[in-house]
Chains A and B, each alone.
Chain A
Amino acid sequence: MPRARSAARGMLDSRSARVSDASSQGDTVTARPTRREALAAAGLLCLGAAGGVLVSRRGAGESPPSGSGKSGPTAARTSPTVPGSAGSPATATASSTTAAPVGLAAPSLVEAYAAEHQLVARYEQVVRDATAAQLAPVLADHRRHLDAFAAAILAADPSWTPQPLPPAAASPTPPPRPSPGSLAALERSASAALVARVAGVDGDLAGLFASVAASEAGHAQVVGALRWAAAS
């Protein structure tokens, strides 16, 4: 089971689901809530010093959530569909990264691929020396995004040919190293663009756009926290 989904299932189990789940997951599951947790649930304990969190009491004695366990992380997914895309000509941006024919592929998907392609190319240009180790995980994520978008396009149009990334050494004069803040801004912008695309697609493709948007937002936090020397 993928890690995040496993965490989602195992992190917290409602008491009604705990007995069955505990035996199968091997998680450290308490037999019952601790006294502290019970007090917190009753709204009697203000947790945390210096502006800590006050837990309110909600729903005591009411039936447990009915949704939990019905459709877990392994729930079947719908096929990626893009309303109105079938048979329509691709209207992707004129980026060189989308020069290959796209056939039936969704315009928004191809545009997302192109944007991700540009992000990867940008990181390829700036990841060097001291920044390499710091930015490598982010670059690896972007490459996975690119692969996922390419796979989704190919699923819609098997004749589509992904554009290869330019080699990192192709540029005779490496661009100046951007500030962490500017990279964070790029990530936030990419995230917002993907969120804006979600309404226009549905099913698994919408989930992919949303997930990648979330990843980019997380990247913004990571690269924004980086520090490196001004000189490259």
Chain B
Amino acid sequence: MSDVDALNRTLAVEHRTIYAYGVVGGHASVRATPLATAGFVAHRARRDQLEALVRGAGGVPVAADPAYAMSTPVTDPLSAATVAAALEDACAVAYEQLVVAAQDPALRTLGATVLVEVATRAARWRLLAGVSATLAFPGRG
């Protein structure tokens, strides 16, 4: 897999995450709203960065779908926190795969850096949801 393919695969996950964070933000508690906002902003920034990297490598960034189906309903602050944690976990998988696939060392470092970011937010969401917040191997199951 080329680095462009790996980047685009990660970008597709960011598109879905950004969409879903909009849904999460609508149901987050007042206490969780700063985390929801920060997560949304962070993922948009990473999306933009990934798009720029794809273009810089001569590729074409994958586009977002018009909408995505939420596989878990978000109806209240607890479900919002639970879904947000799962979203970050999904991003962790994507970035771990980017690290594994990337040929460029700088890209691996970027992937690891973002993996740390999303795992940190996932832990914070799990704390808010009142569930066990630790994962031994984020992104790897």
Taking Cβ atoms with an 8 Å cutoff, the residues of A that contact B are 1-8, 10-16, 18, 27-30, 32-34, 36-38, 40-42, 45, 47-56, 58-68, 70-71, 73, 75, 77-78, 137-138, 140-141, 144-145, 148, 191, 194-195, 198-200, 202-204, 206-215, 217-222, 225
Residue of B13, B17, B103 with most partner-chain A CB within 10 A: B13
A15: chain B residues at CB < 8 Å are 65, 67-69
**Cβ-defined contact, B21 with A210, below 8 A:** no
B55: chain A residues at CB < 8 Å are none
**Cβ-defined contact, B71 with A10, below 8 A:** yes
Q: What residue of chain A has the Cβ atom nearest to residue B14's Cβ?
A: A65
In the bound assembly, the distance between CA atoms of A204 and B101 in angstroms comes to 8
**Cβ-defined contact, B112 with A65, below 8 A:** no
B86: Cβ under 8 A from any A Cβ? yes
Known contacts: A38-B67, A210-B111, A218-B122. The answer to whether A51 contacts B86 by CB under 8 A is no
**Cβ-defined contact, B25 with A48, below 8 A:** yes
**Cβ-defined contact, A214 with B124, below 8 A:** no
B113: chain A residues at CB < 8 Å are 195
B137: chain A residues at CB < 8 Å are 4, 144, 148, 208, 211-212, 215
A67: chain B residues at CB < 8 Å are 5, 8-12, 62
B67: chain A residues at CB < 8 Å are 15, 33, 37-38, 41
B92: Cβ under 8 A from any A Cβ? yes
**Cβ-defined contact, A52 with B116, below 8 A:** no
**Cβ-defined contact, B23 with A207, below 8 A:** no
B15: chain A residues at CB < 8 Å are 58-59, 65
B122: chain A residues at CB < 8 Å are 218
Q: What residue of chain B has the Cβ atom nearest to residue A1's Cβ?
A: B141
Q: What residue of chain A has the Cβ atom nearest to residue B94's Cβ?
A: A8
**Cβ-defined contact, A210 with B25, below 8 A:** no
B86: chain A residues at CB < 8 Å are 7, 11
Question: A30, A78, A202: which contacts B70 (Cβ < 8 A)?
Answer: A30
In the bound assembly, the distance between CA atoms of A8 and B120 in angstroms comes to 17
In the bound assembly, the distance between CA atoms of A65 and B8 in angstroms comes to 8
**Cβ-defined contact, A62 with B63, below 8 A:** yes
Residue of B5, B17, B115 with most partner-chain A CB within 10 A: B115
With A37-B69, A40-B19 given, name 15 new contacts (CB 8 A): A8-B89, A14-B68, A15-B68, A28-B72, A29-B69, A34-B70, A37-B70, A40-B26, A48-B28, A53-B40, A67-B62, A71-B97, A198-B111, A214-B135, A215-B134
**Cβ-defined contact, B136 with A210, below 8 A:** no
